Amino acid sequence: MQVPRDGEDFASQPWYHGPLSRQKAEAFLQRDGDFLVRTSGSRGGQPVISCRWRGSALHFEVLRVALRPQPGRPTALFQLEDERFPSLPDLIRSYVTGQRPLTQATGAVASRPVMRQGPIPRSFSEDTLLESPSRIELLRARKWSDSHPSGLEHVGQSREGHSEPGASTVPTFALSSMGSDPVLLKTLAPLGSIGDSLRASDGQLHAKAPTKPPRTPSLVLPDASEQPSTYCELVLRVSTAQGTPPGHRCPEPEAPWWKAQGEEEEERCFARPRADVSFCCSDNPSGLLGPQNRPLEPKVLRALRGLFLEHHPESTALHLLLADCQAAGLLGVTKAKWDAMGVASGLELLTLPHGHRLRSELLERQEVLALAGALAVLGCTGPLEERTAALRGLVELALALRPGAAGDLPGLAAVMGALLMPQVSRLERTWRQLRRNHTEAALAFEQELKPLMRALDEGAGPCDPGEVALPHVAPAVRLLESEELPGLGPLDESCEQLLRTLQGARQIAQDALKFREAAAQRLQGFKPNPELQEALTTDFMRKLLWGSRGEGAPWAKRLEKFQHVLSVLSQRLEPDC
């Protein structure tokens, strides 16, 4: 449990239930409008609002925005979507008394608090112990009987194995200190234990820091004891305890994406590269699709819609960045595939003759993601505002993917491809509603995203590894695959654009290791949601759009068929006059 800081003491509120699992919270929610606030162990001790609405239990993570300490100002602000509050009780009071939806996308209204029965349980998970730097430092011993820092001469002395008669047992949780003293922790207890000994004669706590538990890679999925949950995640949650101990081996077949692979290059023996290296194939069973699924199953589409609605665009952008980096062979490459491609990165492989399969997969991936994005808008058959909200969500995702943010330019190109698709751009009523109700998003699309995408396609956009994590490779891939580049003008301009594209591809291959470092830095400590991560893979998108049987058809035939489906949906939404 994360202890509230000064000015954030909401533990006394009756609707706050402390550390509570997702399943137990849902058991308390009986009627629409019931809500409670809990601390999520899987989210690093962040407050989460659990609410029942329209028969379903929804969970919304509250974003905490830390402020620079200043007299007379709160240390943090709390928010769900746009409005910020100086404390969590103020946020709850505003939404409950005003009967305002917790999020515009879900429309869920919290009206009846579920009161806590009994004291708040106190427990610490491994992530909570690791997330705070003050909890892993050597702790200062202090007298139990008074608030003065007396007895400092005992600092650093170990009492391990030493006990006195009459020692008492206290629970393993952080004891709030007085004045400016640091938070005191019980030490030398294994993770999850519930007791530790305290000397009764002088009241000294152990001063030795707890043994640091072994770290696990950030991509390791949560324990099966608690099902992975999804939240309305408003910001990336990065653990402050980062790094992997030397010699640590990941049990997964793929190498961790943060591991540097260039250190072994000098010792490698040359092996003839193969032309069939693929990074999009996966034999893992799907947790969302059945073994023989049909195209566009309504149940799966509803599950995906809820999954994306519960994640903020910044979180979705990082999920997409990780999936794109793995699909491009930039991160998480197995040693076997690394040896097979003959170079250190997929960004180098795509410029070589034996990179044909990788180039084909990248082109297909961008097109498939664009089709899925267009379907997210055209599949909204309800009120106009629902379709407008989906359009706004894509614009916000594109802004979260742009250079300087997540820096995933292939993902940005896919989202912009969906927004600029003829079946979507012809929806005049929807775009008019977007400009009227979400003017800021509409202006960002017209004035920032469209010029940026045009410059990237012409080879003149930003491509600095510090600003970009994954560069825009589609123009170079199309050129190397002998496809016509879009937007070519007169002969002299066309030649200049071709030269820029080739020079850009050469520079991307030279900076491949820098891009890998930039991507790993953005994703360091990131813990993806397994369901959302699967939903963004190329294999999943193929099976979702065309079914397990139709995904094996030729690409041109599949594309033509689905374009026809999108045209029919677009005409049903806004028929031609």
pLDDT tens column, 81-126: 878 888 888 889 889 988 989 988 888 999 999 998 877 765 433 3
Looking at CATH, the fold of the domain delimited by 16-113 is given as: SHC Adaptor Protein (3.30.505)
Task: Provide the CATH number for the domain formed by 293-573 in this structure.
Answer: 1.10.840.10
Say if residues 424 and 487 touch (Cβ distance below 8 Å): no
| DSSP strand pairing (16-19 vs 168-170) | unpaired
Say if residues 127 and 41 touch (Cβ distance below 8 Å): yes
d(CA 304, CA 230): 11
Q: Check residue 506 and give its pLDDT.
A: 93
Among residues 2, 93, 96, 95, the alpha carbon closest in space to that of 40 is found at 2
Q: Check residue 496 and give its pLDDT.
A: 83
The 10s digit of each residue's pLDDT in 364-420 is: 999 999 999 999 999 998 899 999 999 999 999 999 999 999 999 999 999 999 999
- Cα-Cα end-to-end distance for the chain: 59
With a CB cutoff of 8 Å and minimum separation 6, the contacts of 314 are 234, 235, 236, 400, 405, 406
Q: Check residue 514 and give its pLDDT.
A: 94
Chain region(s) in the chain for CATH 1.10.840.10: 293-573
- Produce one character per residue of 450-477: b if its CB has 16 or more CB atoms within 10 Å, e if not: eebbeebbbbebbbebeebbbbbbbbbb
- Sign of the C-alpha dihedral, residues 84, 401, 241, 169? positive
Q: Check residue 317 and give its pLDDT.
A: 96
Q: Check residue 326 and give its pLDDT.
A: 93
Q: Check residue 282 and give its pLDDT.
A: 62
3-state secondary structure of 18: strand
Chain region(s) in the chain for CATH 3.30.505.10: 16-113
pLDDT < 50 stretches in the chain: 1-8, 123-268
Among residues 379, 404, 381, 481, the alpha carbon closest in space to that of 394 is found at 379
